[in-house]
Amino acid sequence: MSERQKRLLQWIAEENPEALLAVGFEEAILGMAERCSQPSLVVYDTKQCLEILIERDGMDPSEALEFLQFNTLGAWMGAGTPLFLWRWEDGE
């Protein structure tokens, strides 16, 4: 684990010890998001999560998307469940 990841995970633990992580996608963490009167949640870059599955696990893009949607985006783990950001990119 890189020094950046260690500091990031420490910061998350300090901000909200109840915030859950998507194991294996630490490199895709963007930061944390807040809502009024709600605890902070970890935010992941979904495109980066897909790239991790493709590079690390050898999945093709459609396999990676199906896996991520079913196993990660579709997993409700309670109030600390992380958020996954789909960035809008002009031209896609």
User: pLDDT of 11-69, one tens digit each?
Assistant: 999 999 999 999 999 999 999 999 999 999 999 999 999 999 999 999 999 999 999 99
Give the residue numbers spanning the domain of 26.
3-85
In a domain, 27, yes or no: yes
Distance of alpha carbon 76 from alpha carbon 55, whole angstroms: 26
In a domain, 92, yes or no: no
Distance of alpha carbon 3 from alpha carbon 18, whole angstroms: 22
E strand or H helix that includes residue 33: strand 29-33
E strand or H helix that includes residue 75: none
In a domain, 90, yes or no: no
Which letter, b or e, does each residue of 68-81 get, where b requires 16 or more Cβ atoms within 10 Å of its Cβ?
beeebbeeeeeeee
pTM of the model: 0.91
In a domain, 36, yes or no: yes
In a domain, 69, yes or no: yes
Domain count, the chain: 1
